Structure 1
Amino acid sequence: MNLLIVVITFFTMEGITWLTHKYIMHGFLWVLHKDHHDKSHSGKMERNDYFFLIFAIPAIGMLYYGSLNDFSPWFYIGLGVTLYGFAYFFVHDIFIHQRIRIFRNTKSPYLLGIRRAHKQHHKHTDKGEGECFGFLWVPVKYFKMYIQKR
């Protein structure tokens, strides 16, 4: 049962991420997300990186609270959110944006589709326009682009 909670939470986070990205990051918190699109920051860190804390703090709270209560479902929800955060970091920051220059050459249609959709998202530099707000699941056309090339 606990594993099921982790898995459901992990996949639910994709929807939460899409909604958060579209309506919060491209909405009232655009002030934090803007530099991720226009590269107006100097150095390796962006104001956008504060979203790590915005998402990590509630996850840590759920892990802590759940661990105090005989590893209640809150712990496993926090674990699912945390695992999604790790996946986000590895795929978004390392694979897509190459903050650490590894995993540059892949032939995976799935990973190439995610990378292409993210590049499409970054074409838009203001908060009002945009597409491809998802992270692990993006429109099928981006995957098809690479499946047909094989």
Structure 2
Amino acid sequence: MEGFTWCVHKYVMHGFLWSLHRDHHDHSNDPPLEKNDYFFVIFAIPAIAMMYYGTVNDFNIFFYIGIGITIYGMAYFFVHDIFIHQRLKILKNTQNPYLLAIRRAHKQHHKHIGKEKGECFGFLWVPVKYFKMYFNKSKV
């Protein structure tokens, strides 16, 4: 899923669907819901369809693919929306090197407000330099 997510983020969200993702990079006005939040619906539709198709055909592989997409979406919600963007104020002062690396890489991604020149399109796996940044600190 991580490779798929990277491609979708770089080529779809920062590509032909930038009109939905743009407000996620523009922090001049932070509404409680953004156009970017429509991606939850966009990704839920194939997941639901696959789970449905998989159940009417004796729980075939499509059911499990739909479950995988759903679980990944839940992880995305908890890590990206709740932890990174602090829609709920939890884990604000974490010292966990892995979580700090993810947060830092995401901050690097958001320093570019346009759709070009982006970096760090991943979600749960980010460039090694961010992990080294925080794992080396914890060993001092």
The TM-score with structure 2 as length reference comes to 0.95
1:134 aligns with one of 99, 122, 126: 122
Secondary structure at 2:39 match in 1: helix
The offset of 1:30, in angstroms, is: 0.5
Cα deviation, 1:18-53, whole Å, max 9, x if unaligned, reads 000001100111000000001355520000000111
Compared CA separation, residues 80 and 144, structure 1 to 2 (3 A): same
Structure 1 stretches of at least 4 aligned residues deviating more than 6 Å after TM superposition: none
Secondary structure at 2:137 match in 1: coil
2:74 aligns with one of 78, 83, 86: 86
Instruction: Confirm whether residue 110 of structure 1 aligns to residue 107 of structure 2.
Output: no
Alignment of 1:1-150 (within 5 A): 13-39=1-27, 41=29, 43-150=31-138
The TM-score with structure 1 as length reference comes to 0.89
Cα deviation, 1:45-72, whole Å, max 9, x if unaligned, reads 0000001111111001111110111111
- Fraction of identical pairs, as percent: 72
For 2:72, give the aligned amino acid.
Y
Gap runs ≥5 in structure 2: none
For 1:144, give the aligned amino acid.
K
For 2:4, give the aligned amino acid.
I
For 1:87, give the aligned amino acid.
A
Residue-pair matches, total: 138
The offset of 1:107, in angstroms, is: 1.6
Compared CA separation, residues 74 and 37, structure 1 to 2 (3 A): same
Gap runs ≥5 in structure 1: 1-12
